Amino acid sequence: MAAWPSGRDGSSAASGSNSSETEKAATRDNERDVRDLRSDFNSLLARYEKPIYNLIFQWIRDSDEAFDLTQETFISAYRASGTFRAESKVYTWLYRIALNHCKNRFKQRDRQKEFEAVSLDEGFSADAESPAGETRDVADWSLAPDQLLEQKELRAQIYKAVDALPSEYRTVLVLREMEGLNYLDIAEVTGLSMEAVKTRLSRARGMIRRRIEPYYRL
């Protein structure tokens, strides 16, 4: 299956105006999402299918499983649409459902491992050709081949470092760095306080930095 793929006097006022416009746009977007959730689910699916898939893929590292879990996420959302109370944003609600499905899938994997022989190599296949090194980016042919190879190797090292993070740290890192959510939305998705989100994100970045640091010394 193919992956989806400055003026001093005016700056403050302009900044406040921009912030206000951003908040208004976010409110309009959520109102639209709530309407679609209740009366035009296909539009909601078209809008968030790719972001949800990408989020799940960052966790699962398997395109087929990510596709299946994306479908399960939207089926769950459709079934629960009548109980949505708009206490959170629709898209953060969808992200939370997706993460719950991912956690359940990991639990299933853990149970299966209790009864199956596990290869000694399992968990160490995240090289540049494995799912953990998979990328849906278009290659930048303006770079020399050795630079492209170096970028690919670095990307693989970062993916391996992310995969090695404890789940509570990996969650906030993926939501922030790969999905672009702000701290407030991450807090909404995870149920954490803002301070907890910032603390875990800082620690996750530190873990990644320490893990890939030896790569630069080679």
The pair of structure tokens assigned to 156 is 């693989």
Give tens-digit pLDDT for 50-82: 999 999 998 888 899 999 999 999 999 999 998
Encode 121-162 in three state secondary structure: CCCCCCCCCCHHHCCCCCCCCCCCHHHHHHHHHHHHHHHHHH
Q: Measured between alpha carbons, how far is 209 from 160 in angstroms, rounded to an integer? A: 12
Give tens-digit pLDDT for 77-105: 999 998 898 778 999 999 999 999 998 88
pLDDT of residue 147: 59
Enumerate long-range contacts of 185-188, CB under 8 Å, 24 or more apart. Answer: 185/89, 185/92, 188/88, 188/89, 188/92, 188/96
Q: Is the pLDDT of residue 174 over 70?
A: yes
The pTM for the full model equals 0.65
The domains found in the chain, sorted by start residue, are 17-118 (1.10.1740.10)
- Lowest mean per-residue pLDDT among 142-146, 153-157, 176-180, 209-213: 142-146
Query: Torsion angle of alpha carbons 51, 53, 56, 57, nearest 10°?
Result: -110
Q: 26 or 76: which carries more pLDDT confidence?
A: 76
The pair of structure tokens assigned to 153 is 């190797």
Q: Is the pLDDT of residue 218 over 70?
A: no
* Alpha-carbon radius of gyration of the chain: 20
Q: Measured between alpha carbons, how far is 156 from 10 in angstroms, rounded to an integer? A: 45
Mean pLDDT of the region 31-59: 92
pLDDT of residue 216: 61
Q: Is the pLDDT of residue 118 over 60?
A: no
Closest CA to 100 of 36, 24, 191: 191
pLDDT of residue 20: 79
Q: Which residues contact 65 (CB under 8 A, 6 or more apart)?
A: 56, 105
Residue 117, amino acid: A
Q: Is the pLDDT of residue 199 over 90?
A: yes
Q: Is the pLDDT of residue 157 over 70?
A: yes
- Lowest mean per-residue pLDDT among 11-20, 84-93, 194-203: 11-20
